A and B are shown apart, each in its own frame.
Chain A
Amino acid sequence: MGEIRFMKGNEALAEAAIRAGMQGYFGYPITPQSEVIEYLAAEEPNHDYILIQAESEVASINMVYGGAAAGARVMTTTSSPGYSLMQEGVSYIACAELPCVVANVARGGPGLGTIQAGQGDYFQAVKGGGHGDYRQIVLAPNSVQEMVDHTILAFDLADKYRTPVLILSDGAIGQMMEKVELPEPIPYKPDKPWATTGKTPDRERNIITSLYIQSDDMERKNNSLQKKFRKIEENEVRFEEYMIEDAELIITAYGVTSRTSKKIVDLAREAGIKMGLHRPITLWPFPSGRISELANDGKVKAFFSIEMSAGQMVEDVKLSVNGVKPTFFYGRTGGIIPTPEEVIEFIQKKAGEL
């Protein structure tokens, strides 16, 4: 059993990054995730990593680029408006194939928005808020324990595929306090021959770039990136299911709404409704294969995507269901978490119309 602590989500993410062997943190304060940089600033004298409070999120993501390209394990964290500022950087990091971890502790939007939890950044995270044809692995924790587990996983996946990995959390998970088990610190030793560590006589100079001005070169690069993305899709899908075996109505939800969705399933079952929950853990690669499988199961009647947004993940659910069964959406914006009562009322109404 590892060390047990009672921690806030943001702080757990920070502590997990330290144990994952993070060497550089470059960030800018923004609610509801400033605890990450504060925790790391307080812990800095006890560890070997470097922390810089950068002048903006733009500077932060570019410091991440430089540190990653120099071969280090680096991270930044932010919330929705700050994540918007980072989009150019993420596009560059994805094309230059640099490993790094970014966390978006999402809040309500659009615009300056609210500081409450939100799930309106799904499109930005999963479809690519930055320009160009790229993808990034997106992990969606729904507990403080997963803030720890996903941070460790994110660093490993980033190095495995030389890709940016986004932890898409939200203000509720970031702020809530739960018991966590922390792993032993990982003895991380970088081994990155492609990094810009200085051209020794035994090799050519290493160039980290995303500039491919000749069309043929740009297409070649894109094809190789796509090949990598297909490999990630085949190997890294993660999801969790609850009461799915005999479910006729299936809720799809992630993050904080997946927590309330468990309660919704329990209440529905008490009322005699055969409800189940499918919780994507990787928003990209999306568990479309599994959802398609569920859709094609004779007993399944409909899907309900429950989100704190105006309806974003529901589009990926619909694509996966591919018209085989009806797919509905229920959501609240403004940082309002849908209550079990209002969701069950909606589901019963729609189920009655089927």
Chain B
Amino acid sequence: MREGYEVIYQKPKTLTDNKMHYCPGCIHGIMHKIFMEVVEEMDIQEKTVGVCPVGCSVFAYDYMDVDMQEAAHGRAAAVATAIKRMLPDRIVFSYQGDGDLAAIGTAETLHACNRGENFLFIFINNGIYGMTGGQMAPTTLEGQKTTTSPFGRDKKSMGSPLKMTEIVSQFDGVAFAARVSGNTPANVRKAKRMFKRAIEIQKQNIGTQFIEVVSNCPSGWKCTPVESMDWIVEKAIPYFPLGIFKEPGK
């Protein structure tokens, strides 16, 4: 370190030393980092238990230095439900992609929200199935080309993209529902504040916390990381607006 300077930002200690396998520019890395910063700053590493999905972030437990369980595809909400019911004083979160949470796991997601299970859903929505090579997701945009919608998503035969935050915000059991993104430093900082707020709400035991992250997939979308952030601004956010959809007291 140079004389006269001090550190103002560094990798959180709650991330392991393992090098992340994600593609260059993937928002997974950004979200892992800021959530682990929240865990570090709120001093809850000893109490935090996470559930990771099947998808690109199947190895999230290699990067987040907290106790974690690998769930079967789509079942993280059921797994997290049981963890929190058995260990009610721990901070519990699930971390899932769009296939995991909104396709195969829709029943588990909606019913956990309906019962008001007291854990945080971190929903990484990038409108595509990255790990399996770029197939259509329930949140793929109309007209978007993927390997299973090579001519563009056709509303008539494939349905419209699902707006999960809007859906779950209607449940009485949900205390906090918000949509954020990781496409700009301002949005990343805002997302971090939302994570912090969600944990504070979990401590009050008043209902499910649900945060959707409008995310990217440079590999699946076939563009550069910087271009993928432009796509988020131009195409994704207009359909998946950012903001708080439900919060306590309102």
The distance from the CB of B150 to the nearest CB of chain A, in whole angstroms, is: 29
Query: For the complex, what is the distance from the CA of A329 to the CA of B88, rounded to whole Å?
Result: 52
Instruction: Kindly list chain B residues whose C-beta atoms are within 8 Å of the C-beta of A200.
Output: 46
Q: Per-residue CB proximity of A199-241 to B under 8 Å, as 1/0?
A: 1110001111111000000000000000000000000000000
B58 adjacent to chain A (CB < 8 Å) = yes
Cβ of A199 and Cβ of B66 under 8 Å apart?
A: yes
Given the known inter-chain contacts A66-B81, A70-B86, A205-B65, please indicate yes or no for A199 contacting B45, CB distance below 8 A: yes
- The interface-forming segment of B3-11, B72-80, B195-203, B211-219 is B72-80
Query: For the complex, what is the distance from the CA of A65 to the CA of B69, rounded to whole Å?
Result: 9
Given the known inter-chain contacts A89-B72, A197-B90, A208-B69, please indicate yes or no for A65 contacting B45, CB distance below 8 A: no
Query: For the complex, what is the distance from the CA of A322 to the CA of B61, rounded to whole Å?
Result: 47
Total contacting residues, chain B, CB less than 8 A = 32
Given the known inter-chain contacts A63-B82, A199-B67, please indicate yes or no for A55 contacting B49, CB distance below 8 A: no
- Across the interface, A209 reaches (CB within 8 A) one of B61, B75, B83, B85, namely B61
A111 adjacent to chain B (CB < 8 Å) = no
A23 adjacent to chain B (CB < 8 Å) = yes
Cβ of B68 and Cβ of A207 under 8 Å apart?
A: yes
Q: Per-residue CB proximity of B94-112 to A under 8 Å, as 1/0?
A: 0000000000000110010
B166 adjacent to chain A (CB < 8 Å) = no
- Across the interface, B82 reaches (CB within 8 A) one of A26, A197, A209, namely A26
A311 adjacent to chain B (CB < 8 Å) = no
The distance from the CB of A266 to the nearest CB of chain B, in whole angstroms, is: 48
B20 adjacent to chain A (CB < 8 Å) = no
The distance from the CB of B133 to the nearest CB of chain A, in whole angstroms, is: 16
The distance from the CB of A121 to the nearest CB of chain B, in whole angstroms, is: 21
Cβ of A208 and Cβ of B68 under 8 Å apart?
A: yes
Cβ of A196 and Cβ of B68 under 8 Å apart?
A: yes
Residue from B45, B79, B111, B115 having most chain A Cβ neighbours under 10 A = B79
A72 adjacent to chain B (CB < 8 Å) = yes
- Chain A contact residues (Cβ within 8 angstroms of B): what range? 35 or more
Q: Per-residue CB proximity of B46-69 to A under 8 Å, as 1/0?
A: 111101000000110100011111
A56 adjacent to chain B (CB < 8 Å) = yes
Instruction: Kindly list chain B residues whose C-beta atoms are within 8 Å of the C-beta of A196.
Output: 49, 67-69, 83
Cβ of B67 and Cβ of A62 under 8 Å apart?
A: no
Cβ of A23 and Cβ of B70 under 8 Å apart?
A: no
Query: For the complex, what is the distance from the CA of A212 to the CA of B68, rounded to whole Å?
Result: 15
Cβ of A62 and Cβ of B85 under 8 Å apart?
A: no
- Across the interface, A206 reaches (CB within 8 A) one of B67, B71, B81, B108, namely B67
Instruction: Kindly list chain B residues whose C-beta atoms are within 8 Å of the C-beta of A210.
Output: 70
A285 adjacent to chain B (CB < 8 Å) = no
Instruction: Kindly list chain A residues whose C-beta atoms are within 8 Å of the C-beta of B71.
Output: 62, 65-66
Instruction: Kindly list chain B residues whose C-beta atoms are within 8 Å of the C-beta of A201.
Output: 46
The distance from the CB of A27 to the nearest CB of chain B, in whole angstroms, is: 12
B87 adjacent to chain A (CB < 8 Å) = yes
- Across the interface, B49 reaches (CB within 8 A) one of A58, A88, A96, A197, namely A197
Given the known inter-chain contacts A66-B80, A198-B48, please indicate yes or no for A50 contacting B65, CB distance below 8 A: no
Query: For the complex, what is the distance from the CA of A70 to the CA of B69, rounded to whole Å?
Result: 9
Instruction: Kindly list chain A residues whose C-beta atoms are within 8 Å of the C-beta of B69.
Output: 65-66, 69-70, 196, 207-209
Q: Per-residue CB proximity of B105-124 to A under 8 Å, as 1/0?
A: 00110010001000000000
Question: Which residues of B pack against A, CB within 8 Å?
Answer: 45-49, 51, 58-59, 61, 65-72, 75, 78-83, 85-87, 90, 107-108, 111, 115
A-B contacts, 16 listed (Cβ < 8 Å): A24-B82, A59-B107, A62-B78, A62-B79, A65-B82, A66-B83, A71-B86, A72-B86, A196-B49, A198-B46, A198-B66, A198-B67, A207-B70, A208-B69, A210-B70, A211-B70
| Extra inter-chain contacts (14) besides given A52-B82, A196-B68, CB under 8 Å | A23-B86, A55-B107, A58-B107, A58-B108, A65-B71, A71-B86, A89-B72, A196-B83, A197-B87, A197-B90, A198-B48, A199-B45, A207-B70, A209-B70
Question: Which residues of A pack against B, CB within 8 Å?
Answer: 23-24, 26, 50, 52, 54-56, 58-60, 62-67, 69-72, 74, 88-89, 92, 96, 196-201, 205-211
